[in-house]
A and B are shown apart, each in its own frame.
Chain A
Amino acid sequence: MTELKLDEPLKSKYPKTQLGITWYMFRRHKLAVFSLGMLLFLFLAAIFAEQLMPYDPIKLDPVYAKGRPQPPTNEHWFGTDDLGRDLFSRALSGARVSLAVGFISVGISTLIGLVIGSMAGFVGGWVDNILMRLADIFLSLPTFYLIITVNSMFKPSIFNVMIVIGIFGWMGVSRLLRGEFLHLKNTEFITAARAIGVPNMRMILKHLIPNSIAPVIVNATMGIPSAILLESALSFLGLGIQPPAASWGSMLQDAKQWLHFAWWMWVIPGVLISLTVIAFNFVGDGLRDALDPLERGRG
């Protein structure tokens, strides 16, 4: 019989830090873990794109191409386009663009959403009213069309794409955060914090936001694939990245005229976009389960 020693902490496999618990819960979602692995792989590929590229992604090789796209070979894994550019190298630099757009534009919209949402939720009253009406207006704007408009007016560039996608995407975050704030404001620990005179800014940054960040993180993770899809749609229309640089969307645009026989030109970028989008969605799913305290009891 083993004796339970009270002065020794219980040895449990259950982790103790917040991060540890989240990871412990996240691991149970097998598809999410697999997707996370895939995304890490993609990240590494994007970071080391320059080292991995077998060819210069914008270097033309008309002699090799002979005026039409060339199918995949041992030298050109993803084939080449009609100008003889290596599509594997272009896909790598496209990965960089897609991930950058996903993260930066969602970063922008999350930041805007955090500021607006916490202002609306914390101050309340007419400030809340105005900010939420603003969110309503933005929600009823024909966003995609406005993004195209704004983007075509300023010189199309990938930075404009990121900024514009960010500016038109904050409404969800701000509503989520506002809701959380309204709920938290009535809890005891906030009343206690107020009673001991915690200043407003500190209250928002140290007490309210950390306690309401979980749905925001999930929302941001799910927002990344939408931003990636938007970027590829814009580039597909010729309003995103400008030639000769490549993104997955612009690769699809290049492929449009070769649909009938160069399958590798459009199948590969499309599959890459889809896989990335699915992976982010699964990771978001896993995070939602992992961060939800109601789920945690069930081990």
Chain B
Amino acid sequence: MIRYLIRRLLQMIPLLFVISLISFMIAAFAPGDPVYQYVNPTKKPPTQEELDIIRHRYGLDRPVHVRYLFWLRDIFKGDWGFSTRSKTAVTTEVLSRLPNTILLSGVSLLFAIVVAIPLGVLSAVKRYSILDYITTFIAFVGISVPSFWFALLIVAVFANKLGWFPSVGMSSAGANLTGMAKFFDVANHLVLPVAALSFSELAYWIRYQRASLLENLNQDFVRTARAKGLKENTVIWRHAFRNSLVTTVTLIGLSLPWLVNGSYITESIFGWPGMGRLGITSIMSRDYPVVMAVTMLSALLVISGNLLSDIMYAIVDPRTRFD
């Protein structure tokens, strides 16, 4: 197990390397002269010599592969460069947003798990009941409705019409809250973004949990368990459910990228001060140092998600062999 883990972690290095190379090349070959990122557009347009000076100062006169190697060297020193938009260090910029994204994604993930698994189990156990039909319907809606549209919908209903929850930001503007008051304020702001972010994932998981539990309930070992005279609850939870988790758990790990992707749109809609919104704003303003940092972090999350799902798979399914 440990050896497997080490090998997988080592495999991440070339992967991240290739990803960084691809994204760097995309940024480097984008049309438009990158030197203008460093020019204040409100001032008088710079002369050719001034442009050359700036170009030289930021190393933009070097060929692409040299620039990439320099970038790579700086990364290893922990220096991600400066945002061309806000002129602050990329690390400061990203680190100030990261906790907010982790909060939003983490709560969404937890919420989706806590809701989806029991609902999936219930609709499998009570197959073809009214409850099953309702959850199936909700799941289908969740799968086919665009998540950003669902976000607009809940904003229109719960924020604008009913006024139950705030629709923008992470905390009430101007209010200097502390302790529990602050906690409840943030929690209140979390409700709508979490609902928007987790809805479609939740829908998928319900379907998969239902399908895999149904499949397991038809297996011989479940019949044996029933024939032994075990209580139905024990049969379902201890025997069938445990085995059905294998599918769901893999799925949850694999959906971490979705959490990352989804956060771009969700954070933009709800004005959540997280990485996703930072990513979108920096793309729009061609702030490549930040774009690179956000891309690499997202890639890292995606890869770790895959790894995590493999590890969890091994935990739920003891038959898994590591080679």
How far does the alpha carbon of A13 sit from the alpha carbon of B260 in the complex, in Å?
A: 52
Contact of A26 with B by CB under 8 A? no
Q: Which of A142, A260, A274 meets B299, CB within 8 Å?
A: A142
Q: Which of B23, B148, B280, B286 meets A252, CB within 8 Å?
A: B148
Contact of B145 with A by CB under 8 A? yes
Instruction: Verify A266–B295 contact, CB threshold 8 A.
Output: no
Instruction: Verify A145–B261 contact, CB threshold 8 A.
Output: yes
Q: Which of A150, A259, A278 meets B160, CB within 8 Å?
A: A259
Instruction: Verify A274–B26 contact, CB threshold 8 A.
Output: no
How far does the alpha carbon of A227 sit from the alpha carbon of B265 in the complex, in Å?
A: 16
Contact code string A218-247 (vs B, CB < 8 Å = 1, else 0): 000000010001001100110000000000
- Nearest CB of chain A from residue B287's CB, rounded to whole Å: 11
Residues on B with C-beta less than 8 A from A136 are 15
Contacting A at CB under 8 A, from B1-57, are 15, 18-19, 22-23, 26-27, 30-32
Residues on B with C-beta less than 8 A from A72 are none
Which A-chain residue is minimally distant from B254 (CB atoms)? A139
How far does the alpha carbon of A233 sit from the alpha carbon of B266 in the complex, in Å?
A: 11
Instruction: Verify B26–A153 contact, CB threshold 8 A.
Output: yes
How far does the alpha carbon of A280 sit from the alpha carbon of B291 in the complex, in Å?
A: 34
How far does the alpha carbon of A287 sit from the alpha carbon of B268 in the complex, in Å?
A: 37
Q: Which of B94-102, B115-123, B149-157 contacts A (4 or more CB under 8 A)?
A: B149-157
Looking at chain B's contact residues, the main secondary structure is: helix
How far does the alpha carbon of A155 sit from the alpha carbon of B32 in the complex, in Å?
A: 10
Q: How large is the interface on B (under 10, 10 to 19, 20 to 34, 35 or more residues)?
A: 35 or more
What is the number of contacts between chain A and chain B, taking CB atoms within 8 Å? 118
- Nearest CB of chain B from residue A124's CB, rounded to whole Å: 20
Contact code string B233-265 (vs A, CB < 8 Å = 1, else 0): 000000000000000000000000100110011
Contact of B279 with A by CB under 8 A? yes
Contact of A135 with B by CB under 8 A? no
Q: Which of A140, A145, A259, A281 meets B264, CB within 8 Å?
A: A145
Q: Please judge, given known A-B contacts A153-B30, A274-B145, A274-B146, whether A145 and B152 are in contact too, CB under 8 Å.
A: no
- Nearest CB of chain A from residue B193's CB, rounded to whole Å: 15
Residues on B with C-beta less than 8 A from A275 are 144
Contacting B at CB under 8 A, from A3-49, are none
Residues on B with C-beta less than 8 A from A191 are none
Q: Please judge, given known A-B contacts A148-B283, A233-B146, whether A142 and B261 are in contact too, CB under 8 Å.
A: yes
Contact of B298 with A by CB under 8 A? yes
How far does the alpha carbon of A146 sit from the alpha carbon of B294 in the complex, in Å?
A: 10
Instruction: Verify B299–A266 contact, CB threshold 8 A.
Output: no
Instruction: Verify A260–B160 contact, CB threshold 8 A.
Output: yes
Instruction: Verify A146–B152 contact, CB threshold 8 A.
Output: no
- Nearest CB of chain A from residue B128's CB, rounded to whole Å: 17
Contact of A131 with B by CB under 8 A? no
Which among A140, A153, A263, A274 has the greatest number of chain B C-beta atoms within 10 A? A140
Q: Please judge, given known A-B contacts A142-B261, A259-B160, A273-B149, whether A152 and B155 are in contact too, CB under 8 Å.
A: no
Contact of B216 with A by CB under 8 A? no
Q: Which of A232, A259, A269, A277 meets B155, CB within 8 Å?
A: A259
How far does the alpha carbon of A19 sit from the alpha carbon of B321 in the complex, in Å?
A: 44
Q: Please judge, given known A-B contacts A153-B30, A233-B265, whether A141 and B302 are in contact too, CB under 8 Å.
A: yes
Residues on B with C-beta less than 8 A from A233 are 146-148, 265
Instruction: Verify B149–A266 contact, CB threshold 8 A.
Output: yes
Instruction: Verify B295–A232 contact, CB threshold 8 A.
Output: no
How far does the alpha carbon of A145 sit from the alpha carbon of B67 in the complex, in Å?
A: 23
Contact of B143 with A by CB under 8 A? yes
Contact of B306 with A by CB under 8 A? yes
Instruction: Verify B160–A140 contact, CB threshold 8 A.
Output: no
Contact of B196 with A by CB under 8 A? no
Residues on B with C-beta less than 8 A from A266 are 149, 152-153, 156
Which A-chain residue is minimally distant from B291 (CB atoms)? A149
Contact of B111 with A by CB under 8 A? no
- Nearest CB of chain B from residue A89's CB, rounded to whole Å: 21
Contact of B284 with A by CB under 8 A? yes
Contact of A255 with B by CB under 8 A? yes
Instruction: Verify B30–A154 contact, CB threshold 8 A.
Output: yes
Q: Which of B27, B144, B149, B294 meets A278, CB within 8 Å?
A: B144
Instruction: Verify B295–A153 contact, CB threshold 8 A.
Output: no
Contact of A144 with B by CB under 8 A? yes
Contact of B165 with A by CB under 8 A? no
- Nearest CB of chain B from residue A224's CB, rounded to whole Å: 12
- Nearest CB of chain B from residue A145's CB, rounded to whole Å: 5
Residues on B with C-beta less than 8 A from A273 are 145-146, 149
Instruction: Verify A270–B145 contact, CB threshold 8 A.
Output: yes
- Nearest CB of chain A from residue B152's CB, rounded to whole Å: 5
Instruction: Verify A146–B149 contact, CB threshold 8 A.
Output: no
Instruction: Verify A137–B15 contact, CB threshold 8 A.
Output: yes
Contact of B140 with A by CB under 8 A? yes
Instruction: Give the 6 A-B residue pairs with the shortest CB-CB distance, closest first.
Output: A153-B30, A142-B298, A144-B261, A270-B149, A277-B144, A278-B144
Known: A137-B15, A154-B31, A249-B146. 17 other contacts (CB 8 A): A136-B15, A137-B22, A141-B302, A142-B257, A144-B264, A145-B261, A232-B146, A236-B265, A237-B268, A252-B146, A259-B160, A266-B156, A273-B149, A274-B141, A274-B144, A274-B146, A277-B144
Q: List 6 contacting pairs A-B, 8 Å CB cutoff, sorted by A.
A: A137-B15, A144-B261, A153-B32, A232-B146, A255-B152, A263-B156
